[in-house]
Structure 1
Amino acid sequence: MKKLVSLVTAIFMLAAVGCSQNAAPAPAGQTAAGDQGSQTKIDYPTKPIEIIVPYAPGGGTDAAARILANAVSKHLPNGQSMVVSNKPGGAATIGMTEVFKAKPDGYTIGMTTTGATSIQPHYGKSPYTHDSFQAVIRVLSVPQVLVVRTDAPWKTFEEWLEYVKANPDKFTYGTAGAGHTAHIAMEALNMAAGIKTKHVPFDGAGPAVTALVGGHVEGAVVQVQEAKAQIDAGKIRALVNVGSNKIESYKDVPLATEKGYDVQVDVYTGVLAPKDTPPEIVSILHDAFKKALEEPEVIEQFKKIGVEPAYAGPEEFQKDITDSFNRNGEIMKKVGLLQ
């Protein structure tokens, strides 16, 4: 009887081993449950990545791109690097057009801002529009401020508002150019507050601030980092933040919304890739940028130029771009920038 039990046990063990050996393994990139793609690996990057900045060297976008490019290179697979390439012109459309036309292989990407993708397409002169790219990551969302000289008679937003209401079209303010985000932000404040001011466009925010310090205009609307040096030097001061958020270095400057005016025009900065870039490549780029954005050294470098990280993933960043495109389009129509 014992011999019979032993024989039966041995037969069952041999059958189990045979079934195990005959079971087909799950194909590469597929789990035993049949899920496709979750384990797919690609060999990327295998050469340096070019990140196009559609502005001249030395500006805020260029500075942010270079800070991040150095840090991102430490987080890319295969020890590859990221190289910044400045391609200014056409109100940022020349550089972004090159990104738009690039092969979607992850080796040519771009650092965009609100003007390039949420304003310029409204004029119909660019081959792309706000959703012609693959969003990778938003790295900054920078508010804009109305600044005046420190010797100006207006110490507060309320004092300034009282003056411009009593003196329509007399207050002059400079921006980086007609139709740029700063111009749109101020026009939005004009509409919300029922006031009239006189716009003086310059070829960039730097010349606008210089003109303000020199007394050629009475105010300027610029991104916070563009005003930082002159504020720190005690030459100008901010009266109101016409963006949607505050940053630490401007925490005492009131938001227009806090004063009862629905004006929220920020300048986003983020990374775009050509449309149809494979999801695996987008994921690798996103993760490398996100890790760089979280580095204490990067945060400190951003702080030195007057900005703070403002992370958003691909879906949220694309929504930010689309919302900004729609909002700016409405304002541009109301103020006569669009027919």
Structure 2
Amino acid sequence: MLRTMIATGAFAAGIAVTGAAGAQDYPVDTVTLITHSSPGGGSDVFLREMSTYLAPVLGANVVVENVRGGSGAKAMADLATAAPDGSRFYATTPTFIYTSLLSDPEYTYDDLLPLVNFFIDPEVIFTASDSGSETLDQVLDAAREDHGRWGAANPASLERQALEQLKTQTGVEAAIVTHEGGGDMMINVLNGTLQIGVGEVQELKSQLEAGEIRLLATFSANRIDQYPDLPTVDELGHGVTVRKFRGLAAPKGTPPEIIAAWETAAQEVLANPEYMAKYETNNLRPEFMPHDEYVTFMQSFADETAGFLRESGIIE
């Protein structure tokens, strides 16, 4: 039973983007967006790119800070104890739900307030270009004959859940090998230790451009615009769809006027043509959820995830 998360240490790095004063009557001069991701990771890139366009909309400086440790546990504690004055927010991804459920952190997702959602990331299944597998069904057939080893970048991740669900739906007894980062997983896919891995398209960009990996399917509900020939896992008949969200959480007790300011800012930023060109290139799908909707979505996601982990025997 997986109950202990591996601590990754603490690292902090910040970058400030100055906003045009007066764009909004925002209550603080500097906003800090924290992430459990390391510099260059998915959440780190998301926040740093968005901060350039967010600062002038809010009319405040925007700083990105990496708060690493315990697969998000340290970042959750940071935000849970922060003042609810609009100065500090946390980048939400499925990881903070998994960390809350799979370990015993001092503060969990229940101690944070979902603010708004910005994006849904497509999760894709990939293999090495020289693996000999051209389709997902070929990978599944090979696993039925001789089991298989499939990779997920983190033991507490949506990627792992997606692969566990794929095993359940297909009856394949593959081993799910988890890692503490996408880099190690990629090495094992490229050297043939793993038949497949799961990741986000933007994190696989360099290997795709180098022709080192091949995409087999996406766990998204719909095909990816930039890869129209890539089938979804669901349309291949395997019935698994997942949504990797990217949004923000606030400290509990954040006033309604600050929540409203972020609802307005999020929509304005997503509609910025220059930013739109960037996030579409990175295969991010805009999916704005206002505060009330995001609270409901997050609770449903947490309940579904807890149910899956109990059914899988990972938690009691």
2:168: which partner in 1? 191
1:139 aligns with 2:137: no
Check whether the contact 2:124–2:200 (CA below 8 A) recurs between aligned residues.
yes
2:132: which partner in 1? 153
- Which residues of structure 1 form unaligned runs of 5+? 1-41
Match of 1:163 among 131, 142, 152: 142
Distance 2:103 2:198 in 1: 26
How high is the TM-score relative to the length of structure 1?
0.81
1:302: which partner in 2? 279
How high is the TM-score relative to the length of structure 2?
0.86
Offset, 1:43: 5.1
Check whether the contact 1:143–1:241 (CA below 8 A) recurs between aligned residues.
yes
Match of 2:48 among 60, 66, 75: 66
Match of 1:255 among 209, 232, 236: 232
1:313 aligns with 2:295: no
Check whether the contact 2:224–2:230 (CA below 8 A) recurs between aligned residues.
no
1:207: which partner in 2? 184
Query: AA paired with 1:320?
Result: F
The C-alpha deviation readout for 1:44-93, integer Å capped at 9, x for no partner, is 333211111121111111111011111111111xx321111110111112
Distance 2:292 2:63 in 1: 25
**Secondary structure of 2:199's aligned partner:** strand
Query: AA paired with 2:282?
Result: I
Check whether the contact 1:54–1:87 (CA below 8 A) recurs between aligned residues.
yes
Offset, 1:242: 2.3
Distance 2:220 2:313 in 1: 22
> Number of paired residues?
293
- Which residues of structure 2 form unaligned runs of 5+? 1-23
1:110: which partner in 2? 90
Report sequence identity in percent: 27
1:56 aligns with 2:38: yes
Distance 2:187 2:276 in 1: 28
RMSD of aligned alpha carbons: 1.9
Offset, 1:159: 2.0
Give matches, 1:274-293, under 5 Å. Answer: 274-293=251-270
**Secondary structure of 1:44's aligned partner:** coil
Offset, 1:121: 1.5
**Secondary structure of 2:68's aligned partner:** coil
Query: AA paired with 1:195?
Result: V
Match of 1:83 among 57, 60, 63: 63
Check whether the contact 2:125–2:197 (CA below 8 A) recurs between aligned residues.
yes
